[in-house]
A and B are shown apart, each in its own frame.
Chain A
Amino acid sequence: SQQGEEDPQALSIQEGENATMNCSYKTSINNLQWYRQNSGRGLVHLILIRSNEREKHSGRLRVTLDTSKKSSSLLITASRAADTASYFCATGSQGGSEKLVFGKGTKLTVNP
């Protein structure tokens, strides 16, 4: 079953703008991860945030986690055309070799 729900489903912005994607989930989690998928390709891990963390940065990426609201956001600053892809959140409940539950994804288009 799908745990995460991303919004918006699709986002189109101009190069240089910031892109914000949100993810909500339903059950308790150990961690939440964000992935990127280029069309017809596999997934690339972007960032992991644990349930005891509130914010994490990696380059132009900023992820927040609000466990009280069961939600997370992914911010991509100064977007580039190469950021065009689908972005998925996935939750893990244990932190080990467990199955991840993926959200429906946000299709981001960055126009040059």
Chain B
Amino acid sequence: GAVVSQHPSRVICKSGTSVKIECRSLDFQATTMFWYRQFPKQSLMLMATSNEGSKATYEQGVEKDKFLINHASLTLSTLTVTSAHPEDSSFYICSAWDSWETNYGYTFGSGTRLTVV
């Protein structure tokens, strides 16, 4: 089946630095990718939808200058958390849509645990 690889799985960074998270579709082309954020013991909150070759669509309340999303190819989307602060510490998960999958098209990455100290 479809596989989405997300890296890194864990990252600790200092406050004020930037962190890049990668999401790759390994065996399919993902025209659309989604980025979610999950706080402890809570559900997934969609941050943005990215389409290959175009600007990401951010959900209300998500700062696009802080959470930079790039979807430059059909197999790679990146989320960069700029000038990270402790409140950005969270679990970030990407999801990719496989347009060839007729029954179910969403595949999720394994998530990235970001800790800002």
Q: Which residues of A pack against B, CB within 8 Å?
A: 2, 33, 35, 40-45, 48, 88, 96-97, 99-105, 107
The distance in angstroms between the C-alpha atoms of A103 and B38, with both chains bound, is 12
> Would A40 and B43 count as touching, CB distance under 8 A?
no
Find chain A residues with CB under 8 A from B113 CB: 40
Find chain A residues with CB under 8 A from B49 CB: 99
The distance in angstroms between the C-alpha atoms of A105 and B110, with both chains bound, is 18
Find chain A residues with CB under 8 A from B67 CB: none
Q: Can you give 28 contacting A-B residue pairs, CB < 8 Å?
A: A2-B43, A33-B104, A35-B108, A40-B111, A41-B110, A42-B108, A42-B109, A42-B110, A43-B44, A43-B95, A43-B108, A44-B108, A45-B106, A45-B107, A48-B103, A88-B44, A97-B32, A97-B99, A97-B105, A99-B46, A99-B49, A100-B106, A102-B36, A102-B43, A102-B44, A102-B45, A104-B42, A107-B41
Find chain A residues with CB under 8 A from B41 CB: 107
Choice from B36, B43, B46, B105 contacting A104 with Cβ under 8 Å: B43
Choice from A99, A103, A105, A107 contacting B34 with Cβ under 8 Å: A99
How many residues on chain B are close to A (CB under 8 Å)? Answer: 27
- Give the residue name and chain of the A residue nearest to B93 (CB): A42
Chain B binding surface, main DSSP class: strand
A-B interface pairs (CB < 8 A), number = 53
The distance in angstroms between the C-alpha atoms of A77 and B95, with both chains bound, is 28
The 8 closest A-B pairs by CB, nearest first: A42-B110, A97-B97, A97-B32, A43-B108, A42-B108, A102-B44, A42-B111, A104-B43
Find chain B residues with CB under 8 A from A44 CB: 108
Choice from A42, A96, A107 contacting B6 with Cβ under 8 Å: A42
The distance in angstroms between the C-alpha atoms of A41 and B106, with both chains bound, is 16
- Give the residue name and chain of the A residue nearest to B48 (CB): A99
A94: min CB distance to chain B, Å:
12
Task: Tell me if B82 is interfacial: C-beta within 8 Å of chain A.
Answer: no
Residues 70-105 of B, flagged 1 when their CB comes within 8 A of A and 0 if not, give 000000000000000000000101010101000111
Apart from A101-B46, A104-B43: 9 A-B pairs, beta carbons within 8 A:
A42-B108, A43-B108, A97-B31, A97-B32, A97-B97, A97-B105, A102-B44, A102-B46, A104-B42
